[in-house]
Each structure stands twice: as structure tokens, then as C-alpha cells.
Amino acid sequence: MIESLLFGALAGVGLYGVVRAWLRPRPGLSTLVARIDEGSRSMTPHTTTPHEAQRLSALDSAMRRFGDRLQVLASNRGWRLGRVRSDLAIMNRTVGSFLATKVALGVGLLLLAPVLWGVMRLGGVPLPLAIPAIAAIALGTFGFFLPDLALRSEAAARRRDFRRVVGVFLDLVAMNLAGGRGLPEALLSASTISENWALIRIRQALANARLFGTTPWAALGGLGNDIGVEELRDLSAALSLAADDGAKIRQSLSARAATLRRRELADAEGEAGEKSQSMLVAQLVICMAFLVFLAYPAVSELMHQ
């Protein structure tokens, strides 16, 4: 009786949370201003790559509505999400879609254990009620936090790609400066050289700076803060120093690009060393297993004598 009441209470709380998230909340004035400011600084839904646009259009309409409700709910509650927000920015995803994925995956895995328990009961396998309850809680918690782990690894890989593109971008800016262009024109020209997703984000930030009357280096610094790329913030500070004090920037950009390339080379060598060590361990394990396979008949024969 107590277990039935407990499960009923948990189901009621979950249903109440889903209904509250699904209903259209009334955002406050601060929430509306924050959404307008975020849209004016980003505009990412309108300038995505074709692959990202296809991925966004493939989302189910119900999940989009559910994600919108969760995003408004998170804004009303003042959830900043910290590092997750910058990871979502580098992945070009919204907070609502991320929260909807967490809730959907957590609820799906939570309901998986009772379903499997019911199937096993129908098959004649008796199991205590506490086992599916504990499994449901464990699977639901794992499903709820699994998108965080996936987002962190994907964002880390995407930041490495972005840093690699920043090094190429610095070389292009230095070449444009050597050709006699001014600093703003050199930045915009270097960002239009390719349709890579990182250059699209840089070009988008520079275009927004022209629309809203801010400097290009301030826009690059804001982009670096949003997506968590330290190199863009350093570049913004260097470009601001060059614009204000007239410092020589072309040699500095070339030196920064060379530093980034050396860092990427060192990281690649470190990753190659780690992979070679892991391969060595795998080879040792295979050799030990093969030796056990060869020695087992003789050892077994000696034990039976």
C-alpha cells in the first residue's frame, strides 16, 4: 500500500511538472528584454549552415513547443546554466531544445524499467517491486544527465576546430593589412573567404557590429564570451589596443597565428601519444589473453593428474 502511494505521488508530481512546462507561461519584462537582447546579439537561427538548417527543420513541432515552454520557464526562474549556455552557443543550439532533450530522455528511460518489469512478469519471471523502482530512478537520472556529457564532449571538439580556424583567420587578416586595407575592412574580408561554420559565426558577429554601431573587435570579444573561446577575447583586446593606441598589429597577428599553430601541433602530438599508449595497453592485454589460451590445456591437464 505504501509503495503504491509513493509511486502514485511520484507520477502525480511528474505529470504536474509536465503540464506546468507545457502551458504557456507569462514572461516578465526582464525576460522579454533579455530575449530581445539575445536575439539581437546572436541571430543564429537565420544564418546557419545548410546542414544545421536541415537538422533544425527535422525537429518535431511538439518538441519545439515543449522546448519553448521550458526556455521561458528557465528565463522566468533566472536559470543562468553557466558553462552549459556557452556550450550551447558554440553548438548553435537553444536552451529550450537542450532542456527538452534532457526531460524527454530522462522520462523515456524512467519509463523503460517499469515496461521491462511488466514484460518479465508476463513472461513468468517474478521480480520484487523495489528492483524496477530503483532501476527506473537510476535510468531516469542517467538519461537526464546524459545530454550534458554529450554536449560537453561535442562542444570541446567544436572549440578545437574553432581555434584552428581562428589561427587561419589571423593570417588572412595580416595578409589583408599588408595589402593596404584598414583594420575593419581586413577583418570583414578575411571572414568572407570561406563558408566554414566558424567563419560564418565570425562574419555574422562583424555584420551585427556594423548594424548596431559597435566596433568589430568588441563584437569579436562578445562572440568569444558567448562561445567560451579565449583566443577571440585576446584578439579583441589586441585589436582594441591597436585601434586606440596605434600599435603595430600586423606582426602581432602573425605571431598569434604562429602560436596557435604550435599549440595545435603540441595538442595533436599529445593526442597521438595517448592513442599510442592505449594501443600498447590493448596489445599487451591481447598477448596475455593469448598466453593464457596456450597455457590453459597444459595447466588443466596438470591439475587433473
Computed over every residue of the chain, the mean pLDDT equals 78
Quote the pTM value: 0.68
Looking at residue 148, its pLDDT comes to 92
Of 138 and 31, which is predicted with more confidence? 138
Span 101-115, average pLDDT:
87
In this structure, the number of other CB atoms found within 10 A of the CB of residue 93 comes to: 20
CA nearest to 88, candidates 140, 9, 137, 147: 147
Of 161 and 36, which is predicted with more confidence? 161
Identify which of 57-61, 102-106, 252-256, 264-268 has the greatest average pLDDT. 102-106
At 293, the pLDDT band (50, 70, 90 cuts) reads: confident
Span 46-58, average pLDDT:
49
Residue with cell 557590429: 209
Span 162-183, average pLDDT:
85
Q: How far apart are the first and last CA of the chain?
A: 60
At 152, the pLDDT band (50, 70, 90 cuts) reads: very high
At 236, the pLDDT band (50, 70, 90 cuts) reads: confident
What CA–CA distances, in Å, run from 283 to 175, 277, 290? Answer: 48, 10, 10
